[in-house]
Amino acid sequence: SVAFGTTVGLRRVSVVAGNSNDGGGIKNNGELTITDSVVSDNRTSGDGGGILNWQGNLTLDGCEVRANSARSGGGIFNDAPATIVDSMISGNVAATGGGVSTRAALTATDSLISDNIAEQWGGGIDAEDGALTITNVEVSNNTAGMSAGGIRSLGLLTMTNTTVSGNAAQDGCGGGMLLLGSTDIVKSTVSGNSASGELGCGGGMSFRSSPPGFQTLHLSHVTVAENSATWKGSAIFLDPNPIGPF
């Protein structure tokens, strides 16, 4: 645990098989930078199976966060500013936010978020609040038991040079992405995602403005291809009042 007011750097370390009420591997309330390290096989009955960034600033550079489990944020639960660079978040499991659950500003660059599982929503990323900025990231092969197989975003999402592919929402909307806040996607690909179930909608992405008319969706040089949905919108589903749950 990193205490408030302290600065810690970890390099080439392994944080493995931890177990606690919150932050199975690491709980951060200070200034924490983790470089070229592995956080794996940790678990918690609360939030942040691998890492809980609670009241501090977190930077991951060249790290692997894998095979962790939690109630929310199987790999990482973020409630303060965080930066992820050149890292892999994979094989994590949670009820919501299989890979990452975030409620604060999060920036991810040159990274892979793959093969994570959420029992409910946000297989790869569940962004409840705060700006989410992702650049040169692959979000692939994540699964949600309900909606948002790849990404669930309720706030501002800016996505550039990113691929969202092979993700699945097994019983709801947004196979690749479920978007409820203003979204700007540039030079990216959304492909091979699926939304299943009786009300499966938006195989590639599902967007609604919440509240209606206050949010915008902007796509520029974006490829949306080979996605599927069992109900409506195999590529993109746009609806001011779509069917839940969200």
**Measuring CA to CA, how many Å separate 239 from each of 89, 202, 211?**
31, 10, 12
Q: What is the pTM of this model?
A: 0.95
Mean of all residue pLDDT scores within the chain: 95
Structure tokens at 12: 């080439």
Q: Is 210 exposed, middle or buried (0-12, 13-18, 19+ CB in 10 A)?
A: middle
Return phi, psi of residue 125, to 5°: -135, 135
CA 121 and chain centroid, separation: 10
Q: How far apart are CA 48 and CA 51, in angstroms?
A: 5
- pLDDT tens digits for 7-44? 999 999 999 999 999 999 999 999 999 999 999 999 99
Which bin fits 213, alpha (ψ -120 to 50), beta or left (φ > 0)? left
- pLDDT tens digits for 136-179? 999 999 999 999 999 999 999 999 999 999 999 999 999 999 99
- Work out the pLDDT band at 208, boundaries 50, 70, 90: confident
Can you give the pLDDT at residue 141?
A: 98
